[in-house]
Structure 1
C-alpha cells in the first residue's frame, strides 16, 4: 500500500448504508477497514470489495464495547499505519411506539449503540487523528436528529445526541487539522428500515403522523453512499460541524 492511499474505517459495514459506502470508498481507491457485529455480513462486504479489485480488512466488533472498539482502531493502525476517514455509521432503530410504551431494555439498547457506540468510536479514532494532525470523522445522525419523528422519541433523542457530539467535537478539534461532520439521511430502503412496515402490520400500532417523503420514494443506500464518498474526498475540505441533509425533502 502506498502512503498516499486513503485509509477509511466504516462501522455498520455489513449492510445498508455502511456496505454501500464501503464499496464506494473502495471503488474510489481507499483501503477500507470494515467493522460490524455480524461476522457473516461483514465478511461478505469484504468479499465484494476484493472481487472488485479493492483492498480492505474486516474486524468484528460490538461498537458499544470499549475493548472491541479499541481493537478495531488498533487493527486499522497496525494494518495501514493511519486512519484518514472514519465513517461512524453503526446504529439501530426503535420499534415505533408511544414514549410510555418503550421498554427500558430497548431504551438502554438504543442509547448503547446509537450514542455510546458513536462516542467510543470518536474517542479512540480521535486519539489516532490527533497524533497524525489530520483526519475526518463523519457520523451518521438522521433527520430525526434535527426534528423528532412521531412515535420514535427515544431514537430521535439518540440522534439529537449524535448531532450534539458532532458539533462539540468539531469545535474542539477544528484547530488540530481534524474535521467532524454528520450526515442526516431521511427514509432509506435498507434491511433495517424494511422491518418498520412489518412491525406496523404485526404489531397493530401505526404512528398518528408519518413523515412525508416529498420525492415520493425512499433513498437507495447507493444514493447515501455517494454523499459519503463526497464527504470523504478533498472536495469537502472546508466543512466541519456541518449537518448534511440527504432526505428527499423530508425536513422541508
Structure 2
C-alpha cells in the first residue's frame, strides 16, 4: 500500500523507504525516532500541526513524493479513525464555543456548524476567527478577552434570546511550576482563563437555559483535573476547579433540564506552544509521567467527545467527567 499523508507515522516508520525518510527528517533537527512514540498512531499530516509552524506543508508533500517515485498517490482511504459528520444533529440549535480560533475549540465549532448548528465562536484572536468564518459557514465570530465582562456580554448579545449549548474550551497551560515556584502572574492568568472565565460564561447562559427548560454545558477539564502529576500547580488547580464547577452545576440544574458535563483530555496534538520559561524542577518531576501518555489525540478526536456530550445523544448523561485520554487515566 502506498504511503500517503494520511498514513500513520507508525506505518511510515515501519516501511523500509518511509522509515529512512522520516529518520532523515528527524536527523536534520537532532531528534530520533523514539521522540515520535506518543504520536505513532497519528497521520503524517499531523506533523504540520505539531511543528507549531516550523514544518510547512511542502515538507510532508516532499516526503510523500520521495516515498512514491516522485508522485503523490491518491489516498485509497484515511488510516485509523475518521471523523463522521452526523447530519442535522445540531439543527436549530445555537451553541457557544470558546477558544474557537484554534485547536480543540476550532474542531468543535467546525463540527457543530457542519452538523447544522448556529455557532457563536469566541476567541481572543480576531484574525484566526475571521479565517474560521471563511472556512466554515454558519459561524458567528466574537473576538474578545473572556476574562473581561464586556467580552462575555458581547457573546451573549451575539447569541440572542436562545442558547442551547455552551462549550467552554478556551484554556492555557502553565509553566509546570510547583507551588513553591508559582508566581502571582502565572497563577492569576491561568486561573482567570481556565476557571473564572468559564464560570462567568456559565453564569451568563444558565438563566437563558433555565427559562427554556433545557440546555447542555461542556467544560473542558484535563487529566490534570483528576490527578496531581499531569501539569504544574496553577493549571492543575484550575482544572480541579472546573471539575468542581461542573459537578456543582450538574447537581443544581439537572432537575431544570440542564446537563453539565466535562471532558478530561490527555495529550492532544494541537500544536499550541508551551509557555516560555518552563520550570526546570517541575518539568523534571513531571517528565516520567508525561512520557507515559499512551498516544496523542487530534483536536478532531476531542471534538467528537465534546459534541457527543453537547448533543441530545447524551440525554441521560449529567455531571460526568469523561476521560478522553486514550486510556492514560487507567495506567
Q: Which residue of 2 aligns with 1:127?
A: 207
Q: What whole-Å deviation, never above 9, does each CA across 1:10-42 have from its counterpart, x for those lacking one?
A: 000010000011111111111111000111111
Q: Take 1:225 and 1:151, find their aligned partners in 2: how far apart are those partners? A: 22
> In the alignment, is residue 76 of structure 1 matched against residue 163 of structure 2?
no
Q: Take 2:286 and 2:174, find their aligned partners in 1: how far apart are those partners? A: 16
Q: 1:8 aligns with which of 79, 95, 107?
A: 95
Q: Take 2:230 and 2:246, find their aligned partners in 1: how far apart are those partners? A: 24
1:107 to 1:83, Cα distance in 2 relative to 1, 3 A: same
Q: Which residue of 2 aligns with 1:22?
A: 109
Query: TM-score scaled by structure 2?
Result: 0.68
Q: Take 1:111 and 1:212, find their aligned partners in 2: how far apart are those partners? A: 22
Q: Which residue of 2 aligns with 1:31?
A: 118
Q: Which residue of 1 aligns with 2:140?
A: 57
Q: Which residue of 2 aligns with 1:161?
A: 241
The CA deviation at 1:199 is 6.1
Q: Take 2:246 and 2:314, find their aligned partners in 1: how far apart are those partners? A: 16
Q: Take 1:46 and 1:199, find their aligned partners in 2: how far apart are those partners? A: 34
Q: Is the 8 A contact 1:213 1:249 kept in 2?
A: no
Q: Which residue of 1 aligns with 2:133?
A: 46
Query: How many pairs were matched up?
Result: 239
Q: Is the 8 A contact 1:214 1:249 kept in 2?
A: no
Q: Which residue of 2 aligns with 1:87?
A: 167
Query: TM-score scaled by structure 1?
Result: 0.88
Q: Take 2:165 and 2:291, find their aligned partners in 1: how far apart are those partners? A: 30
Name structure 2 gaps, 5 residues minimum: 1-89
The CA deviation at 1:174 is 0.8
Q: Take 1:216 and 1:60, find their aligned partners in 2: how far apart are those partners? A: 35
Q: Which has the larger radius of gyration?
A: 2
The CA deviation at 1:64 is 1.1
Q: Take 2:294 and 2:91, find their aligned partners in 1: how far apart are those partners? A: 42
1:103 to 1:212, Cα distance in 2 relative to 1, 3 A: closer
1:41 to 1:131, Cα distance in 2 relative to 1, 3 A: same
1:106-117 matched pairs, under 5 angstroms: 106-117=186-197
> In the alignment, is residue 247 of structure 1 matched against residue 330 of structure 2?
no
1:46 to 1:248, Cα distance in 2 relative to 1, 3 A: same
1:14 to 1:171, Cα distance in 2 relative to 1, 3 A: same
Q: Which residue of 1 aligns with 2:284?
A: 207
Question: Which one has a larger percent strand, Structure 1 or Structure 2?
Answer: 1
Q: Take 2:256 and 2:286, find their aligned partners in 1: how far apart are those partners? A: 44
1:102 to 1:47, Cα distance in 2 relative to 1, 3 A: same
* Structure 1 vs Structure 2 CA RMSD: 2.0
> In the alignment, is residue 96 of structure 1 matched against residue 183 of structure 2?
no
Q: Take 2:245 and 2:201, find their aligned partners in 1: how far apart are those partners? A: 12
The CA deviation at 1:214 is 5.7
1:144 to 1:180, Cα distance in 2 relative to 1, 3 A: same
Q: Is the 8 A contact 1:219 1:248 kept in 2?
A: yes
Higher-RCO chain (CA-CA 8 Å, sequence separation at least 6): 1
Q: What SS does the corresponding residue of 1:42 show, helix, strand or coil? A: helix
The CA deviation at 1:232 is 2.1
Q: 1:146 aligns with which of 200, 222, 226?
A: 226
